[in-house]
Amino acid sequence: MKIQFYGAAGCVTGSSHILNIKDKKILLDCGMFQGRDGKERSNDTFNFNPQDIDFVILSHAHIDHSGRIPLLYKEGFKGEIICTEGTKDLCNIMLQDSGHIQEMETEWLNRKRKRKALPEVTPLYTSIDAKKCMEIFKGYGYDEWIELFDGLRIKFTDAGHILGSAITEMLINENGNQVKLVYSGDLGNVNMPILKDPTYIDNADYVIMETTYGDKLHGDLSYDLKELVNIINSTVNRGGNVIIPSFAIGRTQEIIYALNKYIESGTLKGIKVYVDSPLASESTEVFKKYTKYFDAEALNLVKSGDNPLEFTGLTFTKSPQESMNINNIQSGAVIISSSGMCDAGRIKHHLKHNLWREECSVVFAGYQAEGTLGKRILNGDELVKILGDEIAVKAHIYNLQGLSGHADKNGLLTWVRAFKNKPKNIFLVHGDEDAQKSFDKVLKEEGFNSHIAKSGEDLYV
């Protein structure tokens, strides 16, 4: 078998790897690049012919894993997208939203190009393209073996990263040999609200593994949740608002779940919570549909008749007007909005209205890629450009990585140590250079064979 690494090799976005099994080509994820040069790299043509791909195995709905599927479809991919049923439902929302963003950005770009007498450009794909490609998605449950063709059987197990996220176990039969390859996808953090912990896998010959936080330890989740309550209370006392840039899918629902607990117990009082992202509202509905994926605590709440994703004082804004009305609120609002890295979406408006106010707070709760607005704010830039205006960074800035949806270094190590026999090799993907080098070193010290996958590299196993 030949494995070819394309995106998310030496970086965290643009996940895509190709397996060549017999005469078939299987693409593991087909993600969008984000952050520095993200736009240019996402617009690049594929380094392979989309028509040659037989199947896409999709680990989860995050756009850095799924975002180029509509493009793949547009460029002639005729196979099936194999994923969990939760991922399929979330992609149905996410990809159309992504198409819509592409259309808006292209429109804006073309207005500028026209003034310079430059020819118009077309969007990477439209929301219609994204809607069309849903017809080739096939959603499956966890823990069932699926035969894709004679030579490849796969099984999804819960990765505990976002709803529907999967670790993929693959049994490959080629030339009379059976090889088991495990693709970790993105691995979740333990004890996350709502989600189950990532599944530990007993055995594998080879592993393709993410390393996003391969060199970092998250804070303690329960500590960070208490910290969030303290931040909200002190910000409200100062007369400000709390802005939480958040991925629409996953992080938003987990924060709602946590706030629900603190509001219902009376720890948090006198606040209004706004979820200002149409995508987050729609995906919350998908969460409500798949309560069977919830962990025991969340499931018990649902069974007792208390929906943990609803509480008094929680508003999901719908129209742009409702969203703009939030700009008039001076104090007492917790505003959860996307995108999580602050590069697109309504979060930009909320930062524009609150970032320059000393009494406000901005709480980061997820990964910020290099080159994003979120990363610049976290890095301590005193002045940032938002929607064409220079905005001073005066608000209190917090980074609560205990809320991260990714396993930290210890989480990754625990996962890899759970293999009963050490895999023959572990290929490291989905991490910045420092994270990968550091995790590779730790694995080698523990006696594992590991290899940092490079973009464009071919490996034979």
Nearest CB to Zn ion, comparing residues 72 and 162: 162
Maximum C-alpha span of the chain = 70
Taking the complex as a whole, the smallest distance from the CB of residue 444 to Zn ion amounts, in Å, to: 26
- Residue-wise DSSP of 369-417: -TTSHHHHHHTT-SEEEETTEEEE--SEEEE-GGG-SS--HHHHHHHHH
Taking the complex as a whole, the smallest distance from the CB of residue 252 to Zn ion amounts, in Å, to: 14
Instruction: Beginning with the edge strand found earlier in the chain, give each strand of the sheet holding 137-140 in spatial order.
Output: 137-140, 80-84, 55-57, 24-28, 16-21, 2-7, 458-460
Nearest CB to Zn ion, comparing residues 196 and 349: 196
Nearest CB to Zn ion, comparing residues 62 and 349: 62
The one-letter amino acid at 384: V
Q: Interface with Zn ion includes 254 (CB under 5 A)?
A: no
Q: Is 8 left (phi over 0), alpha (psi -120 to 50) or beta?
A: left
**Taking CB under 5 A as the rule, which mask of x and - marks residues 288-327 in contact with Zn ion?**
----------------------------------------
Residue ranges in 265-384 assigned as alpha helix (H): 278-289, 296-303, 320-325, 347-354, 373-378
Instruction: Name the segment binding Zn ion (CB under 5 A); options: 15-23, 91-99, 181-189, 311-319.
Output: 181-189
DSSP-assigned letter for residue 418: T
Task: Enumerate residues 50-89 that contact Zn ion by CB under 5 A.
Answer: 62
CB neighbours (10 Å) of residue 391? 19
**Interface residue with Zn ion, options 186, 215, 343, 408 (CB under 5 A):** 186
Instruction: Name the segment binding Zn ion (CB under 5 A); options: 182-190, 210-218, 257-265, 328-336.
Output: 182-190
List the Cα angle 284/335/270 in 5-degree steps: 105
Nearest CB to Zn ion, comparing residues 152 and 342: 342
The first and second tokens of residue 184, run together, are 């970790």
Task: Enumerate residues 262-281 that contact Zn ion by CB under 5 A.
Answer: none
Taking the complex as a whole, the smallest distance from the CB of residue 149 to Zn ion amounts, in Å, to: 27
Contact residues for 147 (Cβ-Cβ < 8 A; gap 6+): 153
Taking the complex as a whole, the smallest distance from the CB of residue 31 to Zn ion amounts, in Å, to: 9
Taking the complex as a whole, the smallest distance from the CB of residue 15 to Zn ion amounts, in Å, to: 9
Nearest CB to Zn ion, comparing residues 186 and 359: 186
> CA-CA distance, 26 to 80, in Å (whole number)?
10
Handedness of CA 122, 124, 125, 127 (dihedral sign): negative
Taking the complex as a whole, the smallest distance from the CB of residue 75 to Zn ion amounts, in Å, to: 24
Nearest CB to Zn ion, comparing residues 231 and 453: 453
Q: Is 242 left (phi over 0), alpha (psi -120 to 50) or beta?
A: beta
Nearest CB to Zn ion, comparing residues 9 and 334: 9
Instruction: Beginning with the edge strand found earlier in the chain, give each strand of the sheet holding 272-276 in spatial order.
Output: 314-316, 272-276, 333-337, 242-245, 361-364, 396-399
Closest-CB residue for Zn ion? 62
Buried/exposed code over 304-339 (b: 16+ C-beta within 10 A; e: otherwise)? eeeebbebebbebbeeeeebeebeeeebbbbbbbbb
Taking the complex as a whole, the smallest distance from the CB of residue 254 to Zn ion amounts, in Å, to: 13
C-beta separation of 344 from 373 below 8 A: no
The first and second tokens of residue 412, run together, are 């990754």
The one-letter amino acid at 408: D
> CA-CA distance, 146 to 432, in Å (whole number)?
33
Taking the complex as a whole, the smallest distance from the CB of residue 208 to Zn ion amounts, in Å, to: 15
Nearest CB to Zn ion, comparing residues 384 and 407: 407
Nearest CB to Zn ion, comparing residues 191 and 330: 191
Instruction: Name the segment binding Zn ion (CB under 5 A); options: 145-153, 176-184, 185-193, 263-271.
Output: 185-193
> CA-CA distance, 341 to 367, in Å (whole number)?
7
Q: Total residues contacting Zn ion (rule CB under 5 A)?
A: 2
Taking the complex as a whole, the smallest distance from the CB of residue 199 to Zn ion amounts, in Å, to: 16
Taking the complex as a whole, the smallest distance from the CB of residue 64 to Zn ion amounts, in Å, to: 7
Taking the complex as a whole, the smallest distance from the CB of residue 59 to Zn ion amounts, in Å, to: 8
Nearest CB to Zn ion, comparing residues 186 and 197: 186
Nearest CB to Zn ion, comparing residues 186 and 408: 186
Residues forming the site for Zn ion (CB under 5 A): 62, 186
